[in-house]
Amino acid sequence: MNAVSVDGDPEETREWLEAFDSVVRYDGPSRAQYLLDHLAHHAWARGLQAQRARITPYRNTIGVGEQPAYPGDLDLEERLRAAIRWNALAMVVRANQMSAELGGHIASYASAADLFEVGFNHFFKGPEHPDGPDLVYFQPHSSPGVYARAYLEGFLDESHLQHYRQEIGGNGLCSYPHPWLMPDFWQFPTGSMGLGPINSIFQARFMRYLQDRGLCRTEGRRVWGFFGDGEMDEPESIGALSLAAREGLDNLTFVINCNLQRLDGPVRGNARIIDELEALFAGAGWNVIKVLWGSDWDVLFARDTQGELLRAFANTVDGQFQTFSANDGKYNREHFFAQTPQLAALVANMSDMEIDRLKRGGHDPHKLYAAYAAATAHRGQPSVVLAKTMKGYGMGAAGQGRMTTHQQKKLELDSLKEFRDRFRLPLTDQQVETLQFYKPSQDSAELKYLHARRAELGGYLPRRRSRSTAALTAPSADSFGKFALEAEGKPMSTTMAAVRMLGNLLKDSVVGRRVVPIVADEARTFGMANLFRQVGIYSPVGQKYEPEDLGSMLYYREDRTGQILEEGISEAAAISSWVAAATSYSVHDHPMLPFYIYYSMFGYQRVGDLIWAAADQRARGFLLGATSGRTTLGGEGLQHQDGTSHIAFATIPNCRAYDPAFAYEIAVILEHGMREMLEEQHDVFYYLTIGNANYAQPSMLGDASVKEGILKGCYPLSAASERAAVQLLGSGAIMTEVLAARELLKDDWNIEAAVWSVTSYAELHRDGIDCERRNRLDPSGAQVQSYVSRALGACAGPVIAASDYVRALPELIRAFVPRRYVTLGTDGFGRSDTRAALRAFFEVDARSIVIAALKALADEQQIDRSIVVEALRKYGLSADTQAPWTR
């Protein structure tokens, strides 16, 4: 046993405790708190510190005397909650009676109903409120309750509820909040747990950004995030807590539904998650408000002059609390209150039924209203409400507090009747048995109250704006990228070109103020340092220090009106900022144009789930994967080389992924993307990979067909493609090798090759499968050809595709290439070396491309096979070399 836990003088210890109790009794809690804090500081000054984390007693933060009067009609609100609870339950049970495949969740909303309803009735501002609407992130497993309320409001009808999780045939309701599937209803996707907390923090910060830059009035609006206690174990849930406190986001309130249970059992069976969360949030700088016990407990606390309840709570872990919630009042009397005579005396005059009905704080509107009011009034810090609830509250023996409650989809008739009786629902046995939905009449006191409360708060939510009322005119490529369109062979990297275009866009009279440059922590690496002085880095407090590089032209300038969002070393933070800006057209009716530039190697694999959430939320903006490809960042090694991001982005339906090789291609893509997102208001976003290698940039030549080819995915770099014996496809970082291969084929082997720039294998693939589908479903109609089939069909010879990504990327179009097709890619682990060595290692350098072309020509009997043997000898290549993906 640890020596410090052994009491060497119990009598002295007792005297200290009795003295402290005497201060509490005669001088009051304030004096006792002062002495305790003063003693703690005194101990710290002498190098001593308490072993336990600094947490407050296991009781409500707001005392009875500090509670404001409840402003609503509690009886009407209770009847409305009962109706919503029933409809949410009936929706899930009916669906699972039809098919067990549909699933659904009952227990989560059962625990969260009061948390939501106090907000709906008294706090959540709607779209017509003078301050503007609040933003609410709903706990995903509680979506049936939000649907059930929308049914009472009249937004959804009974046919919607009958099609819960049956979306294909129309009128269906999606499983969790999905703006893509219900674009006029859900504002934020929260189905992937852990993403809601970080996204809500950056939405709250982005509201301040808009306000500080004078773009939108947001000072009266609030972000509410409803999350589960188990969900807070996700890294993204806690990854940005310190930012919220550091920037003083008092427009942000988290409500953590502490039902103490995960999906399979207790969150912290052998400890207390509420204590842990209090220490976590308080340590991060948040204002913590605990709502643990309902009003019925106030009488018990008042009787308990010796602190027996708090002592008992301190010795009760969450696993035991779960057992108490799963059992009735008699069990709780015998197993909790019988621990000491003093505890037993506290409930001696209470029946077992009264003990059974002792509520946790998260089920008491009085306590929740007091907590929400305190949170919204608090200044200088974000607030978190830790609300203790029961998972499956009201489900009785069928699910309340049970280990299996999360998986409960069906209830037996007796359990349904018990639920009806507990919540005093006016349903007959027949209506209960048939799971009939319940909706009071339109002129009932309940619905009049519901509509009146929402009218006073500014309308209904969740509701989503699909289009902004402020469509913008996109600038032309000439205005921001003329240097790229007319490059005339000037050497530059595509990263340099993209950043220069970004700088020009910041000066544009229409979109300039709406451009949001975002970086994780590599702005200087990407050549963005000149933007520090041009537009500044956003900071809500300005710049309180003199930067070390103040004397330089490109000094580090932070400003309250700064335009750049620099998020530190956190890709998750940066992409969350990007999502906030990319959805501003819907959330704030103020379209913004975010550009998040980052190392592509730290892209999709770090934040793929967040990118899918962005797609679900119908984000509009640009992601720039810099120093892209597997062989371009030579010295960084195995993990630091991106060979797969284009494959991942190709799977996202509303992402347009491009791998441009030339600066003018970037200009064309940006122009088109801005027009599509800002003018046409299509719900798409763009991913562009850009490189850090300097090479000669040609001017854009040709007519509109070149621009069409850039956007559709490929085009020939010269008119010689029809006469060439072989067609070479190149893109992005590897284009210089493809161009060099063309020269080697001509100089060494007298073979004419045409070079094609493939800007997007993903777009070519989508066009191809679309044509396949149309032909398959309309066999008697005119059969259509894919774009790549038409383009390459007019040419001769085999087609060789080389990419700085894995071969799976160029393989996306194999089905649509009308002749022999050979792909080269960078499969395998990365290495540290020079670009030339890496490209030779992965067999995507000019020599390897030449060998692939010669072998394809030999296979087609266009040249003698001995030429391939000679070329292998000349270039020093051999089959004896181990394949790169095996090394």
- State which H helix or E strand residue 656 sits in: strand 655-658
Q: Is the dihedral of CA 517, 518, 523, 526 positive or negative?
A: negative
What crossing angle do the helices spanning 865-875 and 846-859 adopt, rounded to 10°?
170
Task: Examine the pLDDT at 636 and tell me if it is beyond 80.
Answer: no
Q: Alpha-carbon distance 475 to 674, whole Å?
A: 8
Can you tell me the distance from the alpha carbon of 746 to that of 744, in angstroms, rounded to the nearest whole number? 5
pLDDT at 397: 58
Residue 58: is its pLDDT beyond 80?
yes
Question: Which pLDDT band holds residue 2 (cuts at 50, 70, 90)?
Answer: very low
Q: What percent of the chain has pLDDT over 90?
A: 80
Among 69-83, 262-276, 365-379, 608-622, the minimum mean pLDDT is found in 262-276
CB 632 within 8 A of CB 662: no
What values do phi and psi take at 380, rounded to 5? 95, -10
Supply 534's token pair. 């041009």
Residue 667: partners with Cβ closer than 8 Å, 6 or more residues away: 477, 480, 481, 484, 485, 497, 501, 700
Q: How confident is the model at residue 602 (pLDDT cuts 50, 70, 90)?
A: confident
Q: For 722, which DSSP code?
A: G
pLDDT-based confidence at 400, cuts 50/70/90? low
**Dihedral sign (CA 320, 324, 327, 332):** positive
Report pLDDT for 3: 43
User: Using an 8 Å Cβ cutoff, are 369 and 273 in contact?
Assistant: no
Whether the Cβ atoms of residue 510 and residue 479 lie closer than 8 Å to each other: no
Give this prediction's pTM. 0.93
Q: How many residues does the chain have?
A: 887
3-state secondary structure 550-617: CCCCCCCCEECCCCEEECCCCHHHHHHHHHHHHCHHHHCCCCCEEEEEEEHHHCHHHHHHHHHHHHHC
Please report the pLDDT score of residue 606 as a whole number: 86
Cis peptide bond upstream of 29, omega within 30: no
* 720 vs 784 pLDDT, higher one: 784
Confidence bin at 864 (pLDDT 50/70/90): very high
Name every residue whose Cβ is closer than 8 Å to that of residue 459 and which is 6 or more positions away in sequence.
Answer: 126, 127, 128, 129, 133
Name the strands in the sheet holding 622-626, side by side, starting at the edge strand that comes first in the sequence.
Answer: 565-566, 515-519, 593-599, 622-626, 685-689, 655-658
pLDDT at 631: 92
Q: Is the pLDDT of residue 327 over 60?
A: yes
Give the per-residue pLDDT at 1: 35
Residue 492's pLDDT is: 96
| Mean pLDDT of the residues in the chain | 93
Kindly compute the dihedral angle of the four CA atoms of residues 483, 488, 493, 496, in this order, to the nearest 10 degrees. -20
Strand ranges (DSSP E) for 381-432? 383-388
Among 561, 511, 563, smallest CA distance to 532 is for: 563
264-267 long-range Cβ contacts below 8 angstroms, 24+ apart = 264/403, 264/406, 265/319, 265/403, 266/318, 266/319, 266/322, 267/229, 267/230, 267/233, 267/318
- Burial, 23: exposed, middle or buried (Cβ in 10 Å; 0-12, 13-18, 19+)? middle
The set of long-range contacts for 635-638, using a CB threshold of 8 Å and a minimum separation of 24, is 635/832, 635/833, 636/601, 636/830, 636/832, 637/830, 637/831, 637/832, 638/829, 638/830, 638/831
Give how far Cα 221 sits from Cα of 587, 591, 629, Å: 11, 18, 42
CB 160 within 8 A of CB 147: yes
The answer to whether 113 and 146 are in contact (CB under 8 A) is no
pLDDT in tens, 691-733: 999 999 999 987 789 999 999 999 999 876 678 999 999 999 9
pLDDT at 614: 97
Mean pLDDT of 196-210: 98
797 pLDDT band, cuts 50/70/90, is: very high
pLDDT in tens, 225-262: 999 999 999 999 999 999 999 999 999 999 999 999 88
DSSP at 70: P
Bridge partners, 384 (sequence order): 254, 288
pLDDT band per the 50, 70, 90 thresholds, residue 639: confident
Provide the pLDDT confidence category of residue 794 given band limits of 50, 70 and 90: confident
Q: Is the pLDDT of residue 403 over 60?
A: no
Nearest residue to 287 (alpha-carbon basis) of 226, 241, 320: 241
Which pLDDT does position 47 carry in this prediction?
A: 81
Confidence class for position 265, pLDDT limits 50, 70, 90:
confident
